């Protein structure tokens, strides 16, 4: 009797396993059925399902952990020298050393690739590691790059201070891409854009930009940090590579520095090679926190969009505020484009204070709930002056081209109650 019970329980588990392994997702009576394979690459799932289950191993059966394992090992064993030889000859894809790859990093990579609708991804130690490794996977000495001028300051400084010494010429255009045709020549290899832009939230028309890149056979790269994969997926439009500062909304809790590049397997093999050469690999502990953060990115971004709309609407009516930069406002120059190409208006906004820098400083020194800190995409709402953070070390001319004025305050919306946030703004603006 006991044995029978045992066997039926065992067979139940086996049956469940077989069932799960039997097929990929199937629509059955309106319900989706899970396969035992990792969910990466499977179509028909909603983005939040992909964020939670994408890249994860089969988790059915007794005693299986629900959370992702951190494989905190710098190096991996082989059974024999024959296996090692095959690895060296590229005949097997075994893990050898964490700078080359690691099972925890692989989960993060498959999850983000699934979210962006791409074939593959490569995680890295920071957004700048992702950006530099992706661009260097494309560009060589003598090549030219066209980039929007309104960029995260670190990316702009990489193009201004490092690329020219490597023989790479960079041409900048405004977010409306005006005059871009005049910038292209036989040496132009790539187009790099960031949308919405940092910090004034102008949008680049992603369809127009990719059309231009395809026409001139340029490799198209886009920084999707501000929009997040929740609000736009440029790979689906034909972009070759998407880069993120995963430090921001993807990880979402202001507790790690992380980056990711996303694209075809072919491009990601090249980016991984750059990560291996230059050493910008991610730590498995950071990968764990990134994976945990990604699981809630959908609900966080939704709430942040709601808070940002409430705060932008409040600020727009305030007599001490000159101008609010939020694509969700009808007054914003990119409002119509945002409605067309994004699924929400985003968690970032900026505003210009009447009274310029002194007024902006006074405001930032008086906030209580908002924290005065760089970065974005976390659960806490933050304010910052771009001229003292992302856009430090830039001339007046460069600031003007980047759309930054000294009285610009950038706001990253968190998840607090919007009524409390507005109360804090009121008292800080008094
Ligand atoms: N891209 C954007 C849009 C950013 O805002 C940042 C950082 O603020 C980066 C890239 C660089 O990312 P990280 O700081 O993770 O290197």
What is the b/e burial string over 72-100, where b = at least 16 CB atoms within 10 angstroms of the residue's CB? eeeebeeeeeeeeeebeeeeeeebeebbb
User: Is 283 a catalytic site residue?
Assistant: no
Q: Measured from the CB, is residue 378 less than 6 Å from ligand 1?
A: no
Q: What percent of the chain has pLDDT over 90?
A: 83
Looking at every residue in the chain, the average pLDDT score rounds to 90
- The rounded Å distance from CA 153 to ligand 1 centre is 8
- In a domain, residue 58? The reply is no
What is the b/e burial string over 287-323, where b = at least 16 CB atoms within 10 angstroms of the residue's CB? bbbbbbbbbbbbebbbbbbbbbbbbbebbbeeeebeb
The pTM of the full predicted model, rounded to 2 decimals, is: 0.90
Q: At what angle do helices 284-294 and 103-116 cross, to 10 degrees?
A: 30
Averaged pLDDT, 289-293: 98
- The rounded Å distance from CA 137 to ligand 1 centre is 19
Residue 34 has pLDDT above 60, yes or no: no
pLDDT digits (tens, 9 = 90+) for 53-106: 999 988 888 999 999 999 999 999 999 999 999 999 999 999 999 999 999 999
- In a domain, residue 366? The reply is yes
Whether 49 and 150 map to the same domain: the answer is no
Strands 120-124 and 144-148: unpaired
Whether 172 and 38 map to the same domain: the answer is no
Closest residue CA from atom 15 of ligand 1: 127
Contact partners, residue 60, CB within 8 Å, separation at least 6 = 13, 16, 17, 20, 36
Q: What is the DSSP letter of 75?
A: B
Q: What is the DSSP letter of 220?
A: E
Whether 41 and 126 map to the same domain: the answer is no
Averaged pLDDT, 214-232: 98
3-state SS assignment for residue 241: strand
Which residue among 254, 270, 294 closes a domain? 294
Residue 32 has pLDDT above 50, yes or no: no
Which residue among 34, 53, 72 closes a domain? 53
- In a domain, residue 59? The reply is no
Predicted local confidence at residue 42, as pLDDT:
54
Averaged pLDDT, 134-142: 98
Report d(CA 198, CA 208) in Å as an integer: 20
Instruction: For residue 116, give both structure tokens.
Output: 């962006």
Whether 136 and 37 map to the same domain: the answer is no
User: Is 33 a catalytic site residue?
Assistant: no
Whether 244 and 325 map to the same domain: the answer is no
Expressed as residue numbers, the domain containing 197 is 81-294
Which residue among 33, 53, 73 closes a domain? 53
Catalytic residue among 205, 223, 240, 424: 223
Tell which atom from ligand 1 comes closest to the C-alpha of 225: 3
Q: What is the DSSP letter of 254?
A: S
In this predicted model, which residue has the larger pLDDT, 15 or 129? Answer: 129
Report the CATH number at residue 363.
3.90.1150.10
- The rounded Å distance from CA 202 to ligand 1 centre is 17
Whether 342 and 215 map to the same domain: the answer is no
Averaged pLDDT, 166-191: 97
Q: Measured from the CB, is residue 156 less than 6 Å from ligand 1?
A: no
Averaged pLDDT, 222-237: 98
- Pocket of ligand 1, candidates 248, 255, 275, 378: which has the most ligand atoms within 8 Å of its Cβ, to mutate? 248
Sheet of 371-372: strand order equals 321-325, 348-353, 408-412, 382-384, 371-372
Q: Measured from the CB, is residue 226 less than 6 Å from ligand 1?
A: yes
Whether 36 and 111 map to the same domain: the answer is no
- In a domain, residue 70? The reply is no
In this predicted model, which residue has the larger pLDDT, 109 or 393? Answer: 109
* 139 within 8 A of 168, measured Cβ to Cβ: yes
Predicted local confidence at residue 30, as pLDDT:
32
Q: Measured from the CB, is residue 198 less than 6 Å from ligand 1?
A: yes
Report the CATH number at residue 257.
3.40.640.10
In this predicted model, which residue has the larger pLDDT, 72 or 1? Answer: 72
Report d(CA 112, CA 316) in Å as an integer: 35
- Pocket of ligand 1, candidates 198, 225, 282: which has the most ligand atoms within 8 Å of its Cβ, to mutate? 225
User: Is 248 a catalytic site residue?
Assistant: yes
Whether 222 and 263 map to the same domain: the answer is yes
Angle at 205 between CA 199 and CA 211, to 5 degrees: 140
Tell which atom from ligand 1 comes closest to the C-alpha of 247: 15
- In a domain, residue 21? The reply is yes
pLDDT digits (tens, 9 = 90+) for 320-369: 999 999 999 999 999 999 999 999 999 999 999 999 999 999 999 999 99
Predicted local confidence at residue 156, as pLDDT:
94
Residue 16 has pLDDT above 70, yes or no: no
Whether 275 and 316 map to the same domain: the answer is no
- Report H helices in 317-395: 335-341, 356-366
Whether 148 and 24 map to the same domain: the answer is no
Point out the least confidently predicted range of 125-129, 159-163, 388-392: 388-392
Contact partners, residue 9, CB within 8 Å, separation at least 6 = none
Residue 209 has pLDDT above 80, yes or no: yes
Domains contained in the chain, number: 3
- Pocket of ligand 1, candidates 247, 252, 289, 410: which has the most ligand atoms within 8 Å of its Cβ, to mutate? 247
- In a domain, residue 275? The reply is yes
Residue 418 has pLDDT above 90, yes or no: yes
Averaged pLDDT, 187-205: 96
Whether 243 and 169 map to the same domain: the answer is yes
C-alpha to C-alpha distances, 381 to 68, 350, 361, 371, 420, nearest whole angstrom: 28, 13, 17, 6, 11
Whether 313 and 415 map to the same domain: the answer is yes
Closest residue CA from atom 4 of ligand 1: 152
- In a domain, residue 161? The reply is yes
Report d(CA 66, CA 409) in Å as an integer: 41
Residue 19 has pLDDT above 90, yes or no: no
- In a domain, residue 200? The reply is yes
Strands 408-412 and 348-353: antiparallel
Catalytic residue among 248, 295, 323, 410: 248
Q: What percent of the chain has pLDDT over 70?
A: 90
């Amino acid at each position: 009797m006991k044995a029978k019970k045992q066997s039926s329980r065992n067979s139940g588990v086996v049956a469940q396993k077989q069932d799960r392994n039997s097929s990929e997702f199937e629509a059955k009576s309106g319900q989706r059925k899970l396969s035992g394979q990792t969910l990466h690459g499977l179509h028909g799932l909603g983005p939040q399902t992909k964020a939670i289950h994408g890249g994860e191993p089969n988790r059915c059966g007794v005693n299986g952990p629900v959370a992702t394992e951190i494989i905190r090992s710098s190096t991996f064993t082989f059974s024999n020298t024959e296996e090692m030889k095959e690895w060296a000859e590229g005949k097997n894809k075994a893990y050898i050393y964490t700078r080359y790859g690691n099972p925890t990093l692989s989960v993060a990579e498959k999850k983000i690739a699934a979210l962006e609708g791409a074939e593959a991804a490569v995680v890295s130690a920071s957004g700048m590691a992702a950006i530099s490794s992706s661009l260097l996977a494309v560009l060589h000495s003598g090549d030219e790059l066209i980039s929007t001028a309104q960029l995260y300051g670190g990316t702009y400084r990489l193009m201004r201070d490092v690329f020219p010494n490597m023989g790479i010429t960079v041409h900048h255009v405004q977010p409306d891409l005006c005059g871009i045709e005049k910038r292209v020549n036989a040496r132009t290899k790539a187009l790099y854009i960031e949308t919405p832009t940092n910090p004034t939230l102008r949008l680049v028309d992603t369809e127009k930009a990719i059309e231009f890149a395809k026409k001139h056979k340029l490799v198209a790269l886009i920084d999707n940090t501000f929009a997040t994969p929740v609000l736009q997926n440029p790979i689906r439009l034909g972009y070759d590579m998407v880069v993120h500062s995963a430090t921001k909304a993807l990880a979402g809790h202001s507790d790690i520095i992380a980056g990711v590049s996303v694209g075809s397997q072919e491009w990601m093999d090249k980016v991984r090679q750059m990560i291996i050469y230059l050493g910008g690999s991610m730590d498995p502990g950071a990968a764990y926190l990134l994976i945990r953060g990604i699981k809630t990115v959908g609900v966080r971004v939704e709430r942040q969009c709601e808070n940002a709309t409430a705060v932008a609407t409040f600020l727009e009516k305030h007599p001490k505020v000159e101008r609010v930069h939020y694509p969700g406002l009808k007054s914003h120059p990119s409002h119509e484009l945002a409605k067309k190409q994004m699924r929400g208006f985003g968690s970032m906004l900026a505003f210009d204070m009447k009274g310029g820098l002194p007024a902006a400083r006074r405001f930032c020194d008086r906030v209580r709930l908002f924290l005065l800190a760089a970065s974005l995409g976390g659960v806490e709402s933050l304010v910052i002056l771009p001229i003292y953070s992302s856009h430090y070390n830039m001339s007046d001319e460069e600031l003007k081209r980047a759309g930054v004025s000294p009285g610009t305050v950038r706001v990253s919306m968190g998840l607090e109650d919007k009524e409390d946030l507005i109360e804090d703004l009121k008292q800080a603006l008094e």
